């Protein structure tokens, strides 16, 4: 819709630019930690870790055979029941001992320091009777389902003097390449661009909007022109913009989502005592919205029937059209002229009337909307005597005493004998005018209007059957 700027999607304050945590990645890591089957990032199915079997895998002289199968299963379960990768690593490091070499074999070295083997690694397991017994590496790895690389990493950490396992991946402190002074310059640069508040949904949203002709790339290029002696990357400028201007968007919202639907849908997904009540309210609200849309469609069909004396029309205000179009960096810092366009779509004849003016003439309140409607219907838009007008619930434009006085005046003039003004449910107001506005927006992408008169020509050429 024209100026309906309600919050998009799931939350009015959601920062869509910011990278969100992946629940699939978190679940994959959790399954891997607990030794269960999971799907890797390359879509490969990794089977679950196999529990130790009852057979004896080695013929060593150590006490591997003294650990019963039941004890092995108990150790296996306790290990994979631990909550994190760090806890599991610390548990394993507590069962591995680094001992000095008791006896050396003859090797290809003269000095023992030249030998690759500088210590003896001892692997132990609890036997379930209060004793810690020594086992071979093969038995140790089979009980926990470990690979040789994992054991090698743990042994190296113990050799380095680490007593517990600490995750060293991630959590890196990146070196700051740019100073705070450059960040301050970027903030000041973005602040120089004119911005607008959202019109229809400003009570629910704190978002502000830059010109739709701008984007981060254009801002970055303008910064380079303004500060040619400062060299920064596009990524740094973009990241700084996203981090410090989360409520600043480009362009203006065309459509709005229903705040009631968003709220009730969120409440219906909770486990509170009013969950079913909120779900019922959501269904009732959506039923009302669907019923209103069905009524609009029936009114249009009735007005199109042969001999019908009913005229069904819809009216809406398009999103602000700004002039001039921004074509070079010197224009980015200038405030654009706001142009307003009221669309009135006659359903029975499929004619569309566009009333265009700019902010230098007047604003966009109830008086201005009433003046446009009066001009359209007093100029012979229809000769039928009953008018059914549909619009959204914007109080400042459509739901005020000026519009009521207009309907009385039109009847007083004899243009209509009866007038009904109907409103769609807030957040579900999809009118025929929106299709007309979409054609205008499509045409706007192909031209660069510089003055309001260019908009008139642009609107006239927006469709095969010209707007009136």
11-40 tens-digit pLDDT: 444 444 444 556 788 888 888 888 889 888
- Report the Cα 114 to chain-centroid distance in Å: 59
Q: DSSP string of 173-191? A: -----S-HHHHHHHHHHHH
Phi, psi of 295, deg, nearest 5: -65, -40
Residues in contact with 419: Cβ distance below 8 Å, sequence separation at least 6, in sequence order: 386, 387, 388, 389, 407, 410, 411
Quick check: 253 and 5 in contact, CB under 8 A?
yes
- In angstroms, the CA 165 to CA 86 distance is 5
Maximal CA-CA distance, the chain:
118
The domains of the chain, with CATH numbers, are: 23-159 (no CATH), 180-250 (no CATH), 297-460 (3.30.420)
- In angstroms, the CA 390 to CA 368 distance is 18
pTM (predicted TM-score): 0.47
User: What residues pair up with 45 in beta bridges, in sequence order?
Assistant: 39
Q: End-to-end CA distance of the chain, in Å? A: 20
Q: Supply the DSSP symbol for 104.
A: -
- In angstroms, the CA 173 to CA 183 distance is 18
Quick check: 36 and 48 in contact, CB under 8 A?
yes
Strand 248-250, strand 208-210: pairing: parallel
- In angstroms, the CA 350 to CA 304 distance is 10
- In angstroms, the CA 434 to CA 254 distance is 9
Quick check: 196 and 252 in contact, CB under 8 A?
yes
Quick check: 279 and 263 in contact, CB under 8 A?
no
pLDDT in single tens digits along all 468 residues of the chain: 334 443 333 444 444 444 455 678 888 888 888 888 988 888 889 899 888 888 877 888 888 888 888 988 999 999 999 888 889 889 898 888 988 887 777 767 667 676 777 788 889 998 888 888 888 888 888 889 888 898 898 888 888 888 888 887 766 666 667 888 899 999 998 888 887 765 444 444 567 888 777 888 888 988 988 888 888 899 999 999 988 888 888 875 544 567 777 777 777 777 777 788 888 888 888 888 888 888 888 888 888 888 888 999 999 888 888 877 766 666 655 777 888 988 899 888 888 898 988 888 988 888 888 999 999 888 888 888 899 998 888 888 888 889 999 999 999 989 999 999 988 887 777 788 888 888 888 787 777 778 888 888 888 877 767 777
**How many residues in the chain?**
468
371-402 tens-digit pLDDT: 999 998 888 888 888 999 988 888 888 888 89
């Amino acid at each position: 819709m024209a100026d309906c700027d309600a919050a998009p999607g799931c939350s009015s304050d959601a920062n869509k630019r910011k990278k969100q945590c992946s629940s699939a990645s978190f679940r994959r890591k959790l399954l891997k930690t607990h030794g269960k089957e999971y799907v890797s990032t390359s879509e490969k199915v990794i089977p679950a870790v196999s529990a130790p079997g009852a057979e004896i895998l080695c013929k060593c002289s150590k006490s591997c055979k003294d650990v019963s199968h039941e004890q092995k299963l108990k150790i296996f379960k306790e290990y994979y029941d631990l909550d994190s990768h760090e806890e599991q690593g610390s548990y394993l490091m507590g069962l591995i001992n680094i001992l000095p070499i008791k006896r050396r074999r003859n090797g290809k070295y003269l000095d023992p320091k030249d030998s690759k083997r500088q210590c003896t690694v001892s692997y132990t397991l609890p036997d379930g009777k209060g004793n810690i017994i020594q086992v071979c590496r093969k038995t140790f790895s089979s009980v926990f389902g470990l690979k040789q690389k994992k054991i090698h990493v743990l042994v190296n950490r113990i050799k380095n003097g680490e007593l517990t396992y600490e995750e060293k991946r991630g959590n890196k402190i990146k070196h700051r390449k740019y100073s705070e002074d450059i960040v301050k310059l970027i903030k000041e640069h973005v602040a120089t661009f004119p911005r607008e508040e959202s019109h229809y949904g400003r009570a629910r949203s704190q978002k502000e909007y830059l010109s739709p002709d701008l984007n981060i790339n254009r801002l970055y290029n303008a910064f380079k022109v303004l500060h040619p002696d400062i060299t920064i990357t596009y990524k740094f400028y973009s990241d700084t913009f996203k981090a410090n201007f989360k409520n600043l968007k480009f362009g203006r919202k065309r459509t709005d989502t229903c705040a009631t639907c968003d709220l009730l849908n969120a409440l219906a997904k909770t486990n509170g005592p009013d969950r079913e009540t909120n779900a019922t309210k959501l269904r009732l609200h959506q039923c009302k919205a669907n019923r209103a849309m069905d009524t609009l469609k029936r009114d249009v069909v009735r007005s199109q029937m042969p001999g019908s004396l009913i005229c069904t029309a819809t009216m809406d205000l398009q999103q602000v059209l700004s002039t001039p179009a921004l074509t070079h960096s010197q224009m980015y810092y200038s405030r654009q002229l706001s142009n307003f366009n009221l669309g009135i779509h006659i359903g029975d004849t499929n004619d569309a009337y566009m009333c265009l003016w700019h902010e230098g003439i007047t604003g966009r309140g109830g008086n201005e909307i009433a003046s446009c409607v009066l001009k359209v219907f007093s100029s012979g838009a229809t000769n039928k005597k009953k008018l059914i007008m549909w619009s959204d619930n914007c109080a400042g434009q459509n739901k005020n005493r000026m519009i009521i006085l207009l309907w009385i005046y039109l009847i007083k003039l004899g243009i209509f004998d009866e007038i009904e003004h109907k409103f769609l449910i807030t957040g579900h107001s999809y009118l025929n005018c929106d299709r007309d506005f979409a054609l205008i927006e499509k045409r706007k992408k192909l031209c660069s209007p510089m003055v309001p008169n260019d908009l008139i020509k642009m609107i006239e050429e927006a469709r095969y059957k010209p707007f009136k």
